[in-house]
Amino acid sequence: MLRPLTSRARTRLVRPLHATALRASSLFDPKGVERPEDDVDVCIVGGGPAGLSAAIRLKQLERERGKDIRVVVLEKGGETGAHILSGAVIEPRALNELLPNWQSHPDHPLTQPATSDTMRFFTSKYSFPIPHPPQMSNNGNYIVSLSEVTRWLAGIAENEYGVEIYPGFAAAQLLFSKTADSKDPWGNPVRSVRGVITNEVGLTKHYTMKPSFEPGMAFKAKVTLLAEGAHGSLSKLAIQKYQLRNESQPQTYGIGVKEVWRVDPSQYEPGKVVHTLGWPLDSSTYGGGWVYHMDRGLVSLGLVIGLDYPNPYLSPYRELQRMKHHPYYRKLLAGAERLAYGGRVLNEGGLQSIPKLNFPGGALIGCSAGFVNIAKIKGTHNAMKSGMLAADAAYDAVHSPSASEVSEADSEAEPAADMSAYDTALRSSWVWDDLYEVRNLRPSFNTSLGLWGGIAYSGVDSLFLKGRVPWTFKHAPVEDLHNYKNSKSLDAAHTQRASQHKPIDYPAYEPPLSTDLMTSVALTGTNHAEDQPIHLRVVETCEFMRESEAGLIERAESGAVLETEWGTVDRKATRRKHVEVNVKEYAGLLGRACPAGVYEYVEAEPGDKAAAEEGWDGKKLVINSQNCIHCKLCDVKVPTQDITWTVPEGGGGPKYNLT
């Protein structure tokens, strides 16, 4: 049941306390919950560059055209920018369009222009300069902390334009219309999106209600924009429900792991940009490193590894630590202090992997759709522009004649917002041109050309052909596309059995140059409320979506069998099968792949009843969800495709500020 907010709650959006002694410790029933609700014009899920650009542009249109529009941004991080991680070198093209006078802001964070570009090829002991594609030229670009840029944009959105931004509000479910009132982009009758529901607060890991329990809030919106970043949880559900990948290739991803250091002044070269290929990665693994000399004596360094890597023994974190043992990094980091660490998946699929962008009632923007230009190693400019284009379409949809004829009290009768104009506009914009030119570079590495052939092809294409060829390489054969139209991961399918590889012999850590994983995770500031439901579910996405729509919820005490309208689900059997396949065939891949130490396949203690029921061959799965830095790698890379990342209580997760 939905219940309107009081005027005070509308103003502050602070969750009022409703818990009583009678219901404390009782089992949470999602079907019978009474939720506060709020009506907005546009609800934006995600307070990153795309979401904030959309919000600012909407309020600019309000000023230009004279019709009010209420814009709400829901951000799952404890503060705006807390979950933002990138290299980052920013191309300011979209920013120049959004805020032409941004340089006049005294507190803007784009203070370090890029001054030089180099690319180097690494062996284990040496590095050699090599030519870099012209797309990687950074003339006119800025080296930034994207977390700082996001906080700055949020301040402009709130203070100068009146956008309502609510950190700590984690959108957990899509709010659908009661009946099939619309058609998806392919003409099938569907329920439209009418907003989102935020996560419950104050549940134990067994889904009983604490005295502090508060139900999630329903934000009913005329337009819902999903700006969650790469592989967002609600974006996944929308893509699957509305079959948005019917005409596109599957998305592919890389995992970026990075650190920020304060280096010795003798090693600091402000504005210097370096990209690397080769060691420590082998010839079957796509990826590369970077070193960006930021402002204030800081250096950002890191490694991106394509998640289509075949060897299950590979550890992205250990590869980053090994990379720093190279003489180039030893010199750079001598006497330096490490200040930050983080990890996040990024889209690598490019033009071929862009899905249909609109669905009934909303749209995908930014990295929820996937606009990273992998040749430039940049996506912020495209993400921001997509948000601006979506804002144009959303403003028109909110103020369309059909919308104005329906009273607020009868909002369910209002036709679902049609955001197809946004999809059309983006495909006619410079974002499309930006991605079209480099569409063949990343997939060339997965052709019969191999790694060295991919490097050669990319050089010829980027230098001379510039995408002006009649072919477009595919990430997956056309005959296999039916396997990846919804939530299945192409990157996971590239993972080979452990029997085909040998364990990687990583060198010992050499503190402070290289450290163990938990020392690094401490630098992220990640934290989650104790005794809350585990947000990393051992359940396939398609099954989770059905449960979400039906108002069901997986209970962690739930080894018990769950009866649903589509059949019986045995949670313990599901978990047992996960452990068997991932340990037996893939040597417990997630135990190495996760850059935060969330997953462990451990030996069960004698007499451990849960391990006997949910484990295999003496092994059980332990999920240290409190360590999670929200990178989404597990959801993408697990070979069994049965880990679904969902949002924890709002405010949990990393607290990035320099990344």
What residue has token string 């924890």? 648
DSSP secondary structure string, 309-322? Answer: ---TT--HHHHHHH
Which own/partner contact pairs does 15-24 have at CB distance under 8 Å and 24+ positions apart?
15/201, 15/214, 15/217, 16/214, 17/212, 17/214, 18/213, 18/214, 18/215, 19/202, 19/209, 19/210, 19/211, 19/212, 19/213, 19/214, 21/211, 23/209, 23/213, 24/209, 24/210, 24/211, 24/213
* Catalytic site includes residue 43: no
86 catalytic? Reply is: yes
Q: Which of 57, 70, 80, 86 is catalytic?
A: 86
Enter the tokens of residue 182.
């619309």
Q: How far is CA 263 from the centre of its chain?
A: 30
* Alpha carbon 101 to chain centroid, angstroms: 30
Active site residue 628: yes
Q: Which one from 235, 594, 640, 644 is the annotated catalytic residue?
A: 594
Do the beta carbons of residue 383 and residue 226 sit within 8 Å?
Answer: no
8 Å CB contact between 444 and 457: yes
Q: How far is CA 561 from CA 4, 83, 366, 546, 646, in A?
A: 36, 35, 39, 16, 21
C-beta neighbour count of 606 within 10 angstroms? 7
Catalytic entry in 57, 631, 640, 646 = 631
Short-list 244, 248, 235, 252, CA closest to 545: 235
For residues 98 and 382, the answer to whether their CB atoms sit within 8 Å is: no
Given a contact cutoff of 8 angstroms between Cβ atoms, the answer to whether 622 and 579 are in contact is: no
Query: Active site includes 541?
Result: no
Tokens 């991803």 — which residue?
Answer: 253
- Residue 268 corresponds to which tokens in the numbers above? 């600091």
Between the CA of residue 134 and those of 114, 130, 142, 451, 468, what are the distances in Å? 15, 13, 17, 20, 15
Contact assessment for residue 443 and residue 475, using Cβ atoms and an 8 Å cutoff: yes
- The active-site residue out of 127, 182, 380, 444 is 380
Alpha-carbon span 527 to 269, nearest angstrom: 35
Query: What is the distance between the alpha carbons of residues 566 and 78, in angstroms, rounded to a whole number?
Result: 37
User: Catalytic: which of 191, 344, 575, 576?
Assistant: 344
User: Cis omega before residue 280 (within 30°)?
Assistant: yes
Structure token pair of residue 67? 């019709």
Residue 404: which of 176, 69, 5 has the closest Cα?
69
Coil, strand or helix: which one is 543?
Answer: helix
Structure token digits, residue 306: 């394509």
Task: Name the H helices within 604-643.
Answer: 609-614, 633-637
Tell me phi and psi for residue 39, to 5 degrees.
-100, 130
Residue 387 token pair: 């948000």
Which of 646, 486, 642 minimizes the C-alpha distance to 569? 642
Q: Which of 634, 644, 646, 659 is catalytic?
A: 634
Rounded to whole angstroms, the Cα distance separating 47 from 156 reads 13
Task: Identify whether the C-beta of residue 107 lies closer than 8 Å to the C-beta of residue 77.
Answer: no
Return the bridge partners of 224, or none: 43, 362
Residue-wise DSSP of 339-366? EEEEEEEEE--GGGG----EETTEEE-G
The rounded distance, in Å, linking the Cα atoms of 389 and 384 is: 9
Radius of gyration from C-alpha coordinates of the chain = 24
Give dist(CA 212, CA 391) in Å, integer.
Answer: 37
**CA 266, 376, 484: angle at the middle one, nearest 5?**
130
Name the residues annotated as catalytic: 86, 344, 380, 594, 628, 631, 634
